[in-house]
Amino acid sequence: MGQLTLDLIEKDPSLTLHSALGSGNSLNEALGADLVIDFTNPEVSERVVDFAIDNNLRLLVGTSGWSKEKIDRVRNKISGTSAVVAIVPNFSIGSVLATNFAAEAAKYFDVIEIVETHNISKVDAPSGTALFTSQAISEARNGVPAEQQLGIVTDPVFNGIPIKSVRLPDKHAEQEVSFRAKDEKLNLRHEVTSHEVYAQGVLLSIHKTMKLSGLTVGMLALMEEN
């Protein structure tokens, strides 16, 4: 995702690269940038966010693994500062819409499960998208937890929603949210087969984050922001 973003910046005449930082660079090298973009790992990402808030920077976070508890900490820390933080768990417009549809459907079903499948190279589980989807579902249900799917295996529960994580060598990214009721089943499935699908969402998020204030979570908020 970092390389994809660098390519997008190079091709967009309205954007200019300030610096590209790796693990050997100091975060101080980001000072002076109009926008900092974070594609790291969950542990490093928290340090980047803290650095951005402490220095009143504008930050777009694309790193996965941001739980509700971590986001709440950022919300408290950013209060009273002029820093801007946008946390985007997934830059696929289709994925964002699928999460929105799942939250709406969750109001009408009690048996709910999320199954997220990614490549074996993905280190975090559940994925940031699955965590964000479970949070959106929980909010739509006013915090009422879902009932467990019937079966031998009991999936871990996040935000009151069971999430099963699968890692396969030939898979890019896929999420399916299943809903069950008496004599009825609804499946909402979204699959990504290439990183290129994220390009449109990254560009949209870059330009929209420049207009934000405070903390924003999820690309749907950016899509709806005028």
Q: Which domains does the chain have, with CATH numbers?
A: 2-87+196-224 (3.40.50.720), 93-193 (3.30.360.10)
Q: Please name every residue paired with 151 in a beta bridge, in sequence order, or none if there are none.
A: none
Q: pLDDT by residue for the chain (226 residues), tens digit each?
A: 889 999 999 999 999 999 999 988 999 999 999 999 999 988 899 999 999 999 999 999 999 878 888 999 999 999 999 999 999 988 999 999 999 999 999 999 999 999 999 999 887 889 888 998 999 999 999 999 998 766 656 789 999 999 999 999 989 899 999 999 989 999 999 999 888 888 989 999 999 999 999 999 988 888 876 5
Round to whole Å and give the CA distance between 220 and 226: 12
Rounded (5°) CA angle 171-129-184 = 85
Round to whole Å and give the CA distance between 66 and 72: 10
8 A C-beta contact, residue 86 and residue 78? no
Catalytic residue among 68, 70, 77, 122: 122
Q: Does residue 77 have an active-site annotation?
A: no
Rounded (5°) CA angle 7-198-44 = 80
Instruction: Give the per-residue pLDDT at 75.
Output: 95
Q: Does residue 11 have an active-site annotation?
A: no
- Residue 91 CB neighbour total at 10 angstroms: 25
Instruction: Give the per-residue pLDDT at 66.
Output: 84
Catalytic residue among 118, 164, 190, 208: 118
Q: In the sheet where 173-181 sits, what is the strand order?
A: 157-158, 161-168, 111-119, 173-181, 184-192
Instruction: Give the per-residue pLDDT at 151.
Output: 61
Q: Tell me the pTM.
A: 0.78
